[in-house]
């Protein structure tokens, strides 16, 4: 895809969608409220305390209480490395239509780091109330188009993209009160999207990347006024990585998560 302009990328991706039996108007689209909900679910999975989130879209009110996990488990699978960029793949960006959601600070960080990107014309604002305190979200709608930050099959704001974009294969989910953090292809990826990623050996880089993502979640929590357990998760990861590196305890990929 290198060297293609936006129109050519659009045509290429329209072709991809048609190979999957879909058009831009028929593709699965996530509603804005669902995207906001996903974002706060990530936070609640590592939070220390319950919190409420309320907002309204087109006159419809949403109000949800998020609860913290009882415990948190990190799987050895998290230590595997992968790179969407190496595969030149960006299906997660366009196969399903959704909204990019940034918090005010995340957006400012992204604008500061990626100065050449054009953001304004695609951005809408939404207010949410977290524990009744107003917070600003910046929203980019790419339910019917290609995300404005994708060029040549790459994300141009990779290190400061929205949190839900950054976590495709670092899976954070909850089972009976325990948050599981692992690295697996999403079900929808393997069944429908045919994610080409092959996980590879554990590297310092893959460990650092996971820690970097968790710190982004922590920053998100700080901005929302929600305390998280990210420091203890990072400590767990660093201790386990030390055991693996020093081979005092071998990797166990047969774990259930």
Residues within the interface to ligand SF4 (CB under 6 A): 84, 87, 89-93, 100, 147, 149-150, 155, 157, 161-162, 165, 168-169, 189, 193, 195-197
Instruction: Give me the least distance between CB of 138 and ligand SF4, in Å please.
Output: 12
Decide whether 36 or 72 has the Cβ nearer to ligand SF4. Answer: 36
CB of 173 to ligand SF4, least distance (A): 16
Q: How many CB atoms lie within 10 A of CB 156?
A: 16
The least distance separating ligand SF4 from the CB of residue 195, rounded to whole angstroms, comes to: 3
- Alpha-carbon distance of 168 to 193, in angstroms, equals 12
Sheet holding 123-130, edge to edge: 60-66, 51-57, 123-130, 133-142, 98-103
Q: Decide whether 123 or 244 has the Cβ nearer to ligand SF4.
A: 123
Question: Among residues 130 and 166, whose Cβ is nearest to ligand SF4?
Answer: 166
Nearest distance in Å: CB 165, ligand SF4: 3
User: What is the full DSSP assignment across 73-93?
Assistant: EE-GGGGEE--HHHHT--HHH
Nearer to ligand SF4, 126 or 244 (CB): 126
Q: Which is nearer to ligand SF4, 80 or 161 (CB)?
A: 161
Beta strands in the chain (DSSP E): 51-57, 60-66, 71-74, 80-81, 98-103, 123-130, 133-142, 150-151, 154-155, 171-175, 178-182, 200-202
What is the Cα–Cα distance from 246 to 125, expressed in whole angstroms?
Answer: 49
Q: How far is the CB of 147 from ligand SF4 (least distance, A)?
A: 3
């Amino acid at each position: 895809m290198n060297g293609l302009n936006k129109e050519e990328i659009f045509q290429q991706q329209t072709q991809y969608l048609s190979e999957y039996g879909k058009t831009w108007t028929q593709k699965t689209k996530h509603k804005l409220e669902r995207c906001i909900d996903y974002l706060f679910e990530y936070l609640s999975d590592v939070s220390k305390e319950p919190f409420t989130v309320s907002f309204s879209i087109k006159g419809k009110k949403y109000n949800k209480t998020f609860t913290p996990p009882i415990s948190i488990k990190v799987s050895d699978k998290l230590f595997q490395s992968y790179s969407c960029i190496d595969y030149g793949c960006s299906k997660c960006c366009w196969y399903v239509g959704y909204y990019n959601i940034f918090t005010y600070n995340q957006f400012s960080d992204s604008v500061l780091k990626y100065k050449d990107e054009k953001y304004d014309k695609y951005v809408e604002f939404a207010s949410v109330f977290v524990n009744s305190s107003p917070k600003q979200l910046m929203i980019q709608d790419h339910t019917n188009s290609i995300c404005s930050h994708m060029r040549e099959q790459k994300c141009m704001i990779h290190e400061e993209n929205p949190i839900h974009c950054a976590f495709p294969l670092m899976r954070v989910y909850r089972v009976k009160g325990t948050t599981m953090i692992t690295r697996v292809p999403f079900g929808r990826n393997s069944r429908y999207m045919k994610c080409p990623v092959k996980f590879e050996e554990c590297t310092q880089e893959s460990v650092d990347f996971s820690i970097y993502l968790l710190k982004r979640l922590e920053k998100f929590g700080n901005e929302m006024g929600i305390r998280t357990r990210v420091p203890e998760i990072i400590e767990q990861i660093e201790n386990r990585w030390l055991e693996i590196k020093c081979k005092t305890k071998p990797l166990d990929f047969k774990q259930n998560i």
